[in-house]
Structure 1
Amino acid sequence: MNLVKRVSAAALVVLLAAGACDSGGDAPASAPPDKVTYLTAVGAFGRESYAWVAKEKGFFAAAGIEVEIRPGSGTTENLGLLASGRAQFSANDLSAVMIVLGNGKYREDVRAIAAIQQRTLNSVTALAATGVNTPRDLAGRTIGGVQGGAPWLLFPAYAKLAGVDASTVKWIGVEASQMPKLLATGQVDGVGQFVVARPAVEKAAGGRTAVVLPYSDVLTDLYGNALIASTKVIREDPDLVRRFAGALMEGLVYSIEHPEETGQILRKYVPTTDPATAAAEVALMEPYIRANGVVGAFDGARVARAIAILRGTSIIAGELPTADLVAFDFVSGQVR
């Protein structure tokens, strides 16, 4: 990316809050880099590749940060690692984080600081040959999903609004990397996946057509993944949080503007990657990331509406003020 384009992309992104502006968000050149651990939401798929892009293109290094990137294992496990101090940042579906925090777990330990996708990517994905074409076709079916992951946690809310009796649908725990294979071999009728996983599913199924049932069709105010930080690092080093958010969002923008290069970068760090499939996922993710020319921002009123949706479907039992979910001080353009 040339300098002009890079500056333009960065301007879309995390235009960092005032506290970081004096230094441009970069650590002093003479200072040793801050070392942090970042967890992907789940696995090491194309949709998670922007973290490796930020590493490969030097965005983290320019911000004075040395990052260890680890494949995550879903919302519940990731939040536990943040709460225990074994990681400082993770990507996780914001709605799943709402469910965990709204039911009283990790509420003092984590906060969302930036929106990675402006709409939820969650879905149930099936093969057309199984006869699953609408949400109601899921009745009596078996769905594979990451236990504690967002598609599983959100399914009761989706089912209620889509007119499906969730009690008739059986979920079983499977590893994220095994989902396309299990679906292709008929061991499950559907998988709880992100909508952008369609290319991987169809490849595993030998080119058979996949049917994607997006949760966003009925859960319209929900965000997708968010950058989550431990409250400990927010409290003790807010400048590090700003710098990390800025570098990660810069990687996010670069990845969607260069999907083919992104697929190759991911293969460098994860040799089992099919770069073409990864690039296809990244390209599909682009419209979920940009909204009104802003990347990374939250709207507090919309966050409140999303909480209300989940409370209205009884997935969240208690109150969840937006301030207990989102720290609005680290990305400019966020509306409280």
Structure 2
Amino acid sequence: MNLVKRVSAAALVAVLATGACDSGGEPETAPPDKVTYLTAVGAFGREAYAWVAKEKGFFAEAGIEVEIRPGSGTVENLGLLASGRAQFSANDLSAVMIVLGNGKYRQDVRAVAAIQQRTLNSVTALSGTGVETPRDLAGRTIGGVRGGAPWLLFPAYAKLAGIDPASVKWIGVEAAQMPKLLAVRKVDGVGQFVVARPAVEKAAGGRPAVVLPYSDVLTDLYGNALVTSTTVLREDPDLVRRFADALLAGLVYAVAHPAEAGQILRRYVPTADPVTAAAEIELMAPYIRANGLVGVFEPARVARAVAILRGTGIVTGELATTDLVAFDLVTGSVRSGELATTDLVAFDLVTGSVR
């Protein structure tokens, strides 16, 4: 990783102009870049890596001061990025494809690094309720975050799992309330990440959870990705690289030290349970690498994912796949017209050097 402290250009020019520094003096360092980062949803253990990157100094070493805010799902997060009220967010890549592929924020946001190499989306229920397979969801009520990835992606999952999406009712639920509402049978299932099992079982008093992973039928989909705005990409691609490197360093550290990561999350989010958070992080560990690398996108996989979502009908219109790598995104060129994978992912920003 190239996490280096930068010397202020203005300070360097001043030194050269005067010909020397004051005795014993050193060039001033530039003030850090200040950015706002949004988690995908809430402040759960699976999001702890951002606070780990902050606590362990990875952002500071990259010359970045980060305000971390709990996100509220893909649609709202992308809106905040597009409006400039946040500079970076974590979002499920499939949900981003759905939003961009149907015409919203298409020219405003791009994914720049893969946080999870496989989708973590699922419908989670409790044992003994009659939900054991996807077909058991017919006629049931599922709670989810409006505009969140599990809800947006469910029609594709349902079709490939052999059930009619219209036979399942979804209702809006705040992320923090999902485990509790499931435990008291206000809903039959919740749209959750597979790593949320410990939180669900804790809320249910230890009752086993039944997890129906979307990845069972949607095999080529990525999980969360780091997303930024095209404005930030155009105006400061170096900031994007530095932020991505630091965030991925936090991700790697968190999965290597889940108990410590849980404690770090607790320091920043007092309501967090560090034990449950650590358990979520442990469950996430197998998802963050592809061929030993962290952060990378494979263009062919992105193209296949787009094709899957088009094939199930939840992404409409033509999605060009001939231009797979967007090498020009960091210089500010943004294509118009049909959505290609280059309209979604800046493939060249993260090289996979973080292991």
Q: TM-score, normalised by structure 2?
A: 0.87
Give the aligned residue type for 1:321: A
CA contact (8 A) 2:3 2:58 kept: no
Cross-structure match for 1:50: 49
Q: Which of structure 1's runs of 4+ aligned residues deviate more than 3 A? A: none
Give the aligned residue type for 1:171: W
**SS at 2:67 equivalent:** strand
Give the aligned residue type for 2:170: W
Give the aligned residue type for 1:111: R
Deviations 1:217-270 (A, max 9, x none): 000000000000111110000100000000000000000000000000000000
Deviations 1:28-82 (A, max 9, x none): 1511100000000000000000000000000000000000000000000000000
Deviations 1:2-32 (A, max 9, x none): xxxxxxxxxxxxx5xxxxxxxx342415111
Give the aligned residue type for 1:251: G
Cross-structure match for 1:249: 248
CA contact (8 A) 2:125 2:209 kept: yes
Give the aligned residue type for 1:234: L
Tell me how far 1:329 sits from its aligned partner: 2.0
Q: 1:238-277 maps to which residues of 2 (within 5 A)?
A: 238-277=237-276
**SS at 1:130 equivalent:** coil
Cross-structure match for 1:165: 164
**SS at 2:345 equivalent:** coil
CA contact (8 A) 1:121 1:214 kept: yes
Cα distance between partner residues in 1 of 2:4 and 2:298: 26
Cα distance between partner residues in 2 of 1:140 and 1:288: 32
Tell me how far 1:292 sits from its aligned partner: 1.1
Give the aligned residue type for 1:307: V
Cα distance between partner residues in 2 of 1:48 and 1:333: 20
CA contact (8 A) 1:95 1:154 kept: yes
Deviations 1:171-219 (A, max 9, x none): 0000000000000000000000000000000000000010000000000
Tell me how far 1:134 sits from its aligned partner: 0.2
Matched, 1:35 2:23: no
Give the aligned residue type for 2:347: F
Cα distance between partner residues in 2 of 1:329 and 1:237: 15
Tell me how far 1:333 sits from its aligned partner: 4.4
Give aligned pairs, total. Answer: 312
**SS at 2:225 equivalent:** strand
Cα distance between partner residues in 2 of 1:152 and 1:243: 32
Give the aligned residue type for 2:4: D
Q: Relative contact order (alpha carbons < 8 A, sep ≥ 6): 1 or 2 greater?
A: 1
CA contact (8 A) 1:88 1:233 kept: yes
CA contact (8 A) 1:25 1:239 kept: no
**SS at 1:35 equivalent:** strand
Cross-structure match for 1:62: 61
Give the aligned residue type for 2:288: I
Cα distance between partner residues in 1 of 2:241 and 2:116: 18
Cross-structure match for 1:26: 4
Give the aligned residue type for 2:184: T
What are the ranges of 5 or more consecutive residues in structure 1 without an aligned counterpart? 1-14, 16-23
Cα distance between partner residues in 2 of 1:155 and 1:234: 31
Q: 1:143-158 maps to which residues of 2 (within 5 A)?
A: 143-158=142-157
Tell me how far 1:291 sits from its aligned partner: 1.9
Which of these residues, 344, 348, 351, is aligned with residue 329 of structure 1? 348
Cross-structure match for 1:9: none
CA contact (8 A) 2:91 2:227 kept: yes
Tell me how far 1:104 sits from its aligned partner: 0.4
Cα distance between partner residues in 2 of 1:333 and 1:258: 21
CA contact (8 A) 2:91 2:226 kept: yes
CA contact (8 A) 2:121 2:194 kept: yes
Tell me how far 1:290 sits from its aligned partner: 1.7
Q: Looking at CA atoms only, which structure, 1 or 2, has the larger radius of gyration? A: 2
Cross-structure match for 1:133: 132
Q: TM-score, normalised by structure 1?
A: 0.92
Give the aligned residue type for 1:99: I
**SS at 1:114 equivalent:** strand
Matched, 1:200 2:199: yes
CA contact (8 A) 1:118 1:223 kept: yes
**SS at 1:129 equivalent:** coil
CA contact (8 A) 1:25 1:242 kept: no
CA contact (8 A) 1:143 1:169 kept: yes
Matched, 1:289 2:288: yes
Cross-structure match for 1:211: 210
